[in-house]
Structure 1
């Protein structure tokens, strides 16, 4: 069962103000579905959704099979809300009567194509920039989008933290929206004059067809490390899912070749970037870091050098910036706009400073993978001679294999590690912490390890330990504003909780 938001009801995604009706018979032909039901030839469709509660008159309701229920079980609600036809499989079709039904053996695989056709193939009316990889998708997307705006291009943003149409912000539930919502969003953006849409593309989105029928101007690859092995059986399968963005669906491909995973994606016309000295289209040198973590570096490219200023700490953000630069240059964005845009970016929940006038540094970061935790803590360790105090948990109902690895990565780089809860979801929180503790306590030369299940208390304890010059890192949840426990999402913000703890300690 999906998590419930305390006091909130999930809102329907935006729709374009008008669409040209398409006959259900034409749609059946486009997706090679068998059409059954009464008077189907004359039915006109103007929208598509996977959610019965979001149906509006004129919609096709996509009733997909699920792990716990079949979408066809909610057809009555969809029809009451005005659905004019239903896309489903044979199992779903057997549950339906007196309604036009498009029957397909794998309806999920074609719902994106169907939605794209209903909304007029909107991804062809904007430039879509797709960014994939394990870490850095959000930051790279923000960097690209900021430089595009500096160049005067109207932009849209789709990702983990938020969706934006110009300056209008829309809450984001998934890194990549479900395919009908995504196609509708593209149509809204095109309707409002957006020329460039920058979006994160998750492995789930590629594997489950959420970006089916999306035409990409750019496909960009950051890196690959262990994550989502609850969904993918192994790293090779995870990589194959990411590699789908580079199967020809993107007109231009830009790849970071600092790892073997990136090297495997390179083709003769691929734009490559590297921060490790590999032969690449774009490279970086002369990295300088200020005491507060801001960075400057020189980007070397085909048309000369750019001196880049970043507000984002960490060597990994130099790689993210270089990837963004490779994309932007290939799109013809002027160097001065690239420099201006990148210098202004601060990404919510990504190495985000929390400053309440305290004499120690406080940082919130979204790192929730072993490599990301290591990189974040290495970045703060590099700029302090004092202690690093880390608060970290692991999410429930996700890849269990990374829990001891995250405990190990944090313990090896922290003077004090406080293991706490993240989003336990349906799991027993203590069992998640136990797996992390196993990795942490078996780490040679580790610092002190403390277990405090309550996340608020864990953060407050970290603040109580902090002395002048120390760094407190609260990792794992970043920008999130809720904590999911036993199927309920309770309001919780690491940034707000950390700030409140600092104010309380310094009253």
Structure 2
């Protein structure tokens, strides 16, 4: 794949659109001249001449405060609410007035960029854990069927194999529709997209109707934003309504996520296929997953639906990945890919960056694994998997927790790491604007609370923490470095510096060239 390209991209062959047409698409009132516009953006720093500037207000910024700078940069019109109307009127610029900018932004952006989703098959994936891996698997299944694909998610965005750095899991609506326009322009046929709960609540996917939406699981995360698990669930459930998807596929498992999956099955207002272990649920639209088995070389199972069965295999570690693989296959099938081809494609995906990524060196007998696990459930699953791999060998886990996020999960993550590890090294993750020592103390308290003999140590500097973990794992132990996965930077005191767990581990194991 090619080197990353800067966002945001826009279609090269964009056709002008009248403001009156944009206003009609989002139920707005046009005040002023009916000009032709070429683009739309919510970020005054990304304005291109001929744009509509969206005065979108967030938690920290008032969008109307940037109208003047957007106009100086070349914007010729404004989309705003009543709050920003006076600013736009004072600037004597055409403006579209709506009651809720965020609620209609997707529809407006879609119209500006020529409704690109109409020419694409859209596959969405939501859930707490497993979105990225499942998205990569679906992409592999589609490519095995010869389709040109687009992928939008946490790690990267790709357009027919071209890598573009991702800023967030689901882009803001203006960037998203421009990106879909580029994909359609370049001949992409199907787009796989991770859909976060934030994106659903904040209208980033407004106006999009996915052909099929997949659900991986729901466990604790983002309670700084959603305030309760039920509120978090309701955000995810929005994806399983006719406003967002035509059909859905839900994974049902016999674990802590089961009540939420069951609730979604009951509440969804679109046709569903449910993937479940044999005996857990019966029905015409239930695909059973049986004979699941796995080892250090991967996982396999049999997926059966409507009298036919299919072998599901993945070389990826993690018992949960056979469920991700089954979900990916079913999602691909629902957009027209033959099951056998989908299975071949999924089975060809060897790894996903920063997802239980194994790192070894000719200079050491230690096995190291880097994983993005940043929820209590994910930490517990990964450590349990590595406990099996380690066997009698020492398992040393490096963990921290992000700042300015759900603080209630910190002690739970510490406890999850400690239950099956021999040693836990508590360090900084992305403290952001919070006091790193206070975050570490919360993680340490959770780790110290478990009824299990485990050695606990605290090393603030993440590089030194990884070095100590490797030292403690000598001569042939297993090291788990959790929390950041694919990330290439660490945010401390709101400053991001280059830091990639995978590169650091490779170097410290002696594998750097």
**TM-score clears 0.5:** yes
User: Contact conserved, 2:299 with 2:319, CA < 8 A, in 1?
Assistant: no
Query: Which of 318, 331, 334 does residue 338 from structure 2 map onto?
Result: 334
User: Contact conserved, 2:278 with 2:290, CA < 8 A, in 1?
Assistant: no
Q: 2:279, 2:172 → 1: CA distance?
A: 39
User: What is the CA distance between 1:335 and its match in structure 2?
Assistant: 3.0
User: Contact conserved, 2:313 with 2:325, CA < 8 A, in 1?
Assistant: no
User: Contact conserved, 2:7 with 2:164, CA < 8 A, in 1?
Assistant: no
Which residue of the partner structure matches residue 51 of structure 1?
Answer: 43
1:205-224 map, 5 Å: 205-224=199-218
| Secondary structure of the structure 2 residue equivalent to 1:479 | coil
TM-score where L is the length of structure 1: 0.94
Are 1:282 and 2:287 an aligned pair?
Answer: yes
Are 1:299 and 2:310 an aligned pair?
Answer: no
Q: 2:450, 2:179 → 1: CA distance?
A: 47
User: What is the CA distance between 1:276 and its match in structure 2?
Assistant: 6.6
User: What is the CA distance between 1:293 and its match in structure 2?
Assistant: 4.6
Which residue of the partner structure matches residue 261 of structure 1?
Answer: 260
| Secondary structure of the structure 2 residue equivalent to 1:99 | coil
User: What is the CA distance between 1:306 and its match in structure 2?
Assistant: 2.3
Query: Which of 440, 451, 455 does residue 448 from structure 1 map onto?
Result: 455
| Secondary structure of the structure 1 residue equivalent to 2:486 | coil
| Secondary structure of the structure 1 residue equivalent to 2:123 | strand
Which residue of the partner structure matches residue 25 of structure 2?
Answer: 30
RMSD between superposed Cα atoms in Å? 1.8
User: What is the CA distance between 1:444 and its match in structure 2?
Assistant: 1.0
User: Contact conserved, 1:124 with 1:215, CA < 8 A, in 2?
Assistant: no
User: What is the CA distance between 1:250 and its match in structure 2?
Assistant: 1.2
Are 1:348 and 2:353 an aligned pair?
Answer: yes
User: Which deviations, in whole Å up to 9, do the C-alpha atoms of 1:65-91 show, x marking residues without a partner?
Assistant: 233331222223211221110112222
* Cα distance change on mapping 1:432 and 1:293 into 2, 3 Å: farther
Are 1:252 and 2:247 an aligned pair?
Answer: yes
Query: Which of 361, 374, 392 does residue 368 from structure 1 map onto?
Result: 374
| Secondary structure of the structure 2 residue equivalent to 1:20 | coil
User: What is the CA distance between 1:119 and its match in structure 2?
Assistant: 1.1
User: Contact conserved, 1:129 with 1:196, CA < 8 A, in 2?
Assistant: yes
Q: 1:35, 1:133 → 2: CA distance?
A: 39
User: Which deviations, in whole Å up to 9, do the C-alpha atoms of 1:100-152 show, x marking residues without a partner?
Assistant: 12222321111111000111111111001000000000011011110110110
Q: 1:311, 1:178 → 2: CA distance?
A: 34
Q: 2:409, 2:483 → 1: CA distance?
A: 13
User: Contact conserved, 1:65 with 1:92, CA < 8 A, in 2?
Assistant: no
User: What is the CA distance between 1:94 and its match in structure 2?
Assistant: 2.6
Are 1:237 and 2:239 an aligned pair?
Answer: no
Are 1:197 and 2:204 an aligned pair?
Answer: no
Which residue of the partner structure matches residue 97 of structure 2?
Answer: 103
Q: 2:488, 2:307 → 1: CA distance?
A: 43
User: Contact conserved, 2:30 with 2:94, CA < 8 A, in 1?
Assistant: yes
Which residue of the partner structure matches residue 507 of structure 2?
Answer: 500
User: What is the CA distance between 1:173 and its match in structure 2?
Assistant: 0.7
| Secondary structure of the structure 1 residue equivalent to 2:320 | helix
Q: 2:374, 2:142 → 1: CA distance?
A: 29
User: What is the CA distance between 1:303 and its match in structure 2?
Assistant: 5.0
User: What is the CA distance between 1:341 and its match in structure 2?
Assistant: 1.1
* Cα distance change on mapping 1:320 and 1:234 into 2, 3 Å: same
| Secondary structure of the structure 2 residue equivalent to 1:231 | helix
Query: Which of 323, 328, 352 does residue 324 from structure 1 map onto?
Result: 328
| Secondary structure of the structure 2 residue equivalent to 1:250 | coil
User: Contact conserved, 1:410 with 1:440, CA < 8 A, in 2?
Assistant: yes
Q: 1:330, 1:12 → 2: CA distance?
A: 31
Name stretches of at least 5 consecutive residues in structure 2 with no aligned partner: none
User: What is the CA distance between 1:277 and its match in structure 2?
Assistant: 4.2
Name stretches of at least 5 consecutive residues in structure 1 with no aligned partner: 1-9
